[in-house]
Amino acid sequence: MAANKARWSSSNIAIQEYNLKHLKELFGNLLLTDITAPLIGKYQLKRKQDAASNRTINMEIGTLRMVLKTFRLWPNLAPDVKMLPETKEIGKALTPDEEMRLLDACRNSPSRSLYPAVVIFCNTGLRSSELRSARWNQVDFLKGEFQVGKSKTAGSEGRVIPLNRNALQAIKEWRACWPNAKPGHFIFPTEKLVFKGNGAVERQVMSSYQVDPTKPLGSWKRAWNSAKKAANVKCRLHDLRHHFISALAQTQTPDATIQAISGHLSRKMLDHYSHVARDAKRKAVESLNSNAPQVKH
């Protein structure tokens, strides 16, 4: 970690630290030379029993692989270590009812940052890393715009996203929670939460402490999983991006505009959203059928 922090993004550092936390549970007391392919298989099984997704488990094994490669131990294990199959689905768009239930659950979450974050995700199409690493100087409250900083691809960096009423209201209300915030501070800073005071647990109200506005929030994963369960909705946090883009496509927004707002889209993803847009256009013209005059013979 120390050797790579200089060239890694803050989001990648957070991911690696999260992966290491889980890896240490099984491998933390072992010498690197004691790690075997069967032990890695045992780890994969345990994580599946913990309800971790195949994608999450593969990312954790990827972190372990980097450690073992550093000490030239991976080549001996590689032939016997199999990554888990990952879904090839592009993503899921929420139904209006699912979105409402999910937002209600996030609003009632002990994590005070979850609700504004989810509202922003649903209305901007931002990636999780783009929002977690965002600073206040990227928000133009007068113009109602957000400029993306570091992103997954060079083509996504620096793009400007107009903030609709929902997104702008959410970010304004969140800004009011930080009266002393400076332009260079993170919008969602790292903080620890604790149930404090009588009735706090029953009311699910947590107090914030050890806030560091110069460091970004690590993850919404735990709070997100709890909110999904409470809302009885199955989706990933990243699906909120697909939900937003699908909604844009259904308004017959041109592909070029969708790309300008959402940033880089793979050819497969762009084809998918183009298909959504074509379906929306067909429904629009089909809706005129009921009003069509009868042809006289």
DSSP 193: E
Greater model confidence, 138 or 246: 138
Token pair of 117, please? Answer: 């974050």
Confidence of residue 79 (pLDDT cuts 50, 70, 90): very high
Rounded-to-integer distance, Cα 133 and Cα 217, Å: 8
Rounded-to-integer distance, Cα 211 and Cα 181, Å: 12
Mean pLDDT of the chain: 86
Count of domains forming the chain: 2
H or E stretch including 74? helix 74-77
DSSP 94: P
Report the predicted TM-score, pTM, of the whole model to 2 decimal places.
Answer: 0.69
Kindly report the CATH number assigned to the domain that includes residue 269. Answer: 1.10.443.10
Segment 258-280 shows an average pLDDT of 76
- How far is CA 119 from its chain centroid? 12
Rounded-to-integer distance, Cα 133 and Cα 83, Å: 29
- Residues 159, 264 within the same domain: yes
pLDDT at 204: 58
Q: How many CA atoms lie within 13 A of 242 on its CB side?
A: 18
- Residues 125, 76 within the same domain: no
- Residues 57, 128 within the same domain: no
- Residues 131, 173 within the same domain: yes
Greater model confidence, 13 or 130: 130
- On the question of pLDDT at 105 being above 80, the answer is yes
Token pair of 69, please? Answer: 């490669």
Segment 142-154 shows an average pLDDT of 87
What does the pLDDT look like over 197-230, one tens digit per residue?
A: 566 566 555 566 578 899 998 889 889 999 999 9
Residue 68 domain boundaries: 10-80
- Residues 138, 271 within the same domain: yes
